[in-house]
Amino acid sequence: MTEPRRSAADPQVEPFFDPATSTVTYVVHAGDGTPCVIIDPVLGYDPKSGRTRTASADAVIAFVRGRALRVEWILETHAHADHLTAAPYLKRQLGGHIGIGERITEVQQAFGEVFNAGEGFRRDGSQFDRLWRDGETFGIGSLHGQVMAVPGHTPACIAYRVGDAVFAGDTIFMPDVGTARTDFPGGDAATLFRSIRRLLDLPPTTRIFVCHDYPPTDRAAVFETTVAAQRADNIHVRDGVSEAEFVAMRTQRDATLAMPVLLLPAVQVNMRAGELPPAEANGVAYLKIPIDAL
């Protein structure tokens, strides 16, 4: 099949796969020397030692500098539960502004209570440089970006549409993997179904870039698909699957899923726009583990 011809309004997309978290970071640009955005950057974290690592982020930095790109935005599709964000590290190295959906405040409120973050933890989203509303637009040099609210996995989930590409976060995965779980605070299966249908109403040739891939054993990790492929083949939400069928499947499936390995450290960091909790009197920052609370 012949690939559709790209226009000058369509971005070049460079993926960086982090095998430890099955997460993909994207650099989106229009060519060497142009402005760019970085989407869903990963900070390595070893839960056994409590040590962070910057190898994934450093690969992004090397690419940006090697192509003489200028970072305008570092964008989060949501507050991830399966990896720590490298957004502040990248901002210090490359510049740019950190953006996330405006409903992050609901996530901050819920998990601020779970982790008893105290009055010093701001729940107004002010840790981020920009809180995006549904439908807002932004420029990346000659490229045009638009924000799409896609709640359901979390209330704060958004997708970024840039030209013929959509960066969908955890809302939808590759067709043979399906869709995101909805059992986190503020998640809802019916809402997720409607969000996905909003994405799948885009033109069939629209490229969809997923945030994770958990591939079956018979293929390597891949991160790019299309609206047409999702509508034809997604095991959870292909055309013909009703909202009621999806909600029943998703509810039953979510009840069997284990907690993500990095949920506890990730959420505490990501709800703070990637910064660690404040250091205590000994100069060391600590992450909490609620006992019998989740």
- 4 and 205 in contact (C-beta within 8 Å)? yes
Radius of gyration of the chain (CA): 18
Q: How, if at all, do strands 130-132 and 35-39 pair?
A: unpaired
Please give the tally of structural domains in the chain.
1
Take residue 41 and report the two structure tokens written for it. Answer: 């950057």
pLDDT digits (tens, 9 = 90+) for 261-277: 999 999 999 999 999 99
Q: Containing H/E element for 139?
A: strand 137-140
Query: What b/e readout covers 34-45, taking b as 16+ CB neighbours within 10 angstroms?
Result: bbbbbbbbbbbb
pLDDT mean across residues, the chain = 95
DSSP assignment of 148-190 equals: EE--SSSTT-EEEEETTEEE-TTSB--TTT-B----STT--HH
Q: How far apart are CA 25 and CA 39, in angstroms?
A: 6
Q: Which domain holds residue 89?
A: 12-259
40 in a structural domain: yes
pLDDT digits (tens, 9 = 90+) for 104-135: 999 999 999 999 998 899 999 999 999 999 99
User: Is the pTM here over 0.85, yes or no?
Assistant: yes
- 56 and 18 in contact (C-beta within 8 Å)? yes
pLDDT digits (tens, 9 = 90+) for 201-256: 999 999 999 999 988 888 899 999 999 999 999 999 999 999 999 999 999 999 99
292 in a structural domain: no
281 in a structural domain: no
284 in a structural domain: no
pLDDT digits (tens, 9 = 90+) for 20-79: 999 999 999 999 999 999 999 999 999 999 999 999 999 999 999 999 999 999 999 999
The CA distances from residue 150 to 162, 227, 237, in Å, are 16, 15, 15
CATH number, domain containing residue 107 = 3.60.15.10
- For residue 20, the model assigns a pLDDT of 93
267 in a structural domain: no
Strands lying side by side in the sheet with 84-85: 51-53, 42-46, 84-85
